[in-house]
Amino acid sequence: MIVVMRAGAAPEEVRKVADQLEGMGLRLHISQGVERTVIGVIGGRVEEATAAAIEALEEVERVVPILEPYKLASRRYKEGGSRFDLGGGVEIGGEKVLVIAGPCAVESLEQMQQTARAVKAAGARLLRGGAFKPRTSPYSFQGMEREGLEILAQVRRETGLLITTEVMDPYNLEMVAEYADVVQIGTRNMQNFHLLREVGRIKKPVLLKRGMCATLEEWLMAAEYIMSGGNQQVILCERGIRTFDTYTRNTLDLTAVPSLKQLTHLPVVVDPSHGTGKWKLVGPMSRAAVAAGADGLLIEVHPHPEQAVSDGPQSLTPERFAGLMRELTAVASAVGRGI
């Protein structure tokens, strides 16, 4: 359940109610809003009589039950959409659609410099690039690891673009978080619960990709692991799910966007590159994602896709990306948003 404090409740009044709840063995999360403070009860079962007694307190406006298993991610916990400042004034969840662009993998300093300059000129606000690469085959390129992170950091200094990159296990989390502005959890790790708990302890925004076979509830429960650990800055990323079709790499589930907007307050990003696996489909699905209400896009861009060590067939050239950004500006404007 959530306990909504009356408007203007003093900190000591909030603490009084929180102490009473904690005395019942309940875990809490306190969210300080502009007008009201909300106390989320995230551990244990609350009897109806107990909820009624809490609601009767003078400092409490109302008690709202949350029936979904995901408490902190639920829209019942927070009615409006969450907005996160990623750094340098770059925001997600607001009026503008955030575009994140870059190659699947960091391959060299020159490659990242060339890509970063191009995507920034076209309007992207974040640069993506994998330093650690979880691959299906153990013989495939696995990433440049720390050297890749250092390249990303150098390109950030040169261009001002924030960076997002993937963390694969708890052992590398501290190192990745040192370099990344946004830490990415890939599809294969969506239910790596030990990693999710550790990510819940850091103070960096987290881009949580949907597992390739995950339901929306399973996905939101993964977000709950992070949020219950103390990190509320979770961004959901739809990247396609596995179905019986083989024409595309995955089936991009754009119904997830409006569905999540009803279920959760967290921002939603769409990855049309992994969702389709074909660069010719990236443009149409990007436009559709913005029209569906996505808060951001994650698009793979490579200066020479035919030479990419991974995911070349789904990567746009810088020229094609610039053309897509012009199209996205028009779509965003049509639905009352900007790029």
Q: Per residue in 138-162, pLDDT tens?
A: 767 767 899 999 999 999 999 999 9
**CATH 3.30.70.1140-classified regions of the chain:** 2-64
- At residue 43, the pLDDT reads 66
Which helix or strand (DSSP H or E) is residue 153 part of?
helix 146-159
Q: What is the number of other CB atoms lying within 10 angstroms of the CB of residue 319?
A: 11
**CATH for the stretch 84-334:** 3.20.20.70
**CATH for the stretch 2-64:** 3.30.70.1140
Q: Which residues of 162-192 are buried (b: 16+ CB within 10 A; e: fewer)?
A: bbbbbbbeeebbeebbebbbbbbbbbebbbb
- At residue 49, the pLDDT reads 80
Phi, psi dihedrals of residue 197, rounded to the nearest 5°: -60, -40
Q: Cβ distance 282 to 324 under 8 Å?
A: yes
At residue 215's C-alpha, the angle toward residues 213 and 217, to 5°, is 145
Please tell me the distance from the alpha carbon of residue 261 to that of residue 239, in angstroms, as a whole number: 16
At residue 279's C-alpha, the angle toward residues 275 and 280, to 5°, is 105
Residue 76 has pLDDT above 90, yes or no: no
Q: Residue for token digits 């390129």? A: 141
- At residue 23, the pLDDT reads 85
Specify the range with the lowest mean pLDDT, choosing from 19-23, 44-48, 100-104, 334-338: 44-48
Written as one letter, the residue type at 62 is R
Written as one letter, the residue type at 208 is L
The band of 36, judged by pLDDT with boundaries at 50, 70 and 90, is confident
- At residue 224, the pLDDT reads 96
Q: Which two tokens stand for residue 8?
A: 């203007």
Please tell me the distance from the alpha carbon of residue 166 to that of residue 73, in angstroms, as a whole number: 22
**CATH 3.20.20.70-classified regions of the chain:** 84-334
Residue 34 has pLDDT above 70, yes or no: no
Q: Is the pTM value of this prediction over 0.85?
A: yes
Please tell me the distance from the alpha carbon of residue 169 to that of residue 7, in angstroms, as a whole number: 43
Phi, psi dihedrals of residue 237, rounded to the nearest 5°: -125, 110
The band of 136, judged by pLDDT with boundaries at 50, 70 and 90, is confident
DSSP E strands in 225-310: the ranges are 234-238, 268-270, 296-300
Name every residue whose Cβ is closer than 8 Å to that of residue 129 and which is 6 or more positions away in sequence: 102, 103, 104, 105, 106, 112, 115, 148, 151, 152, 163, 165
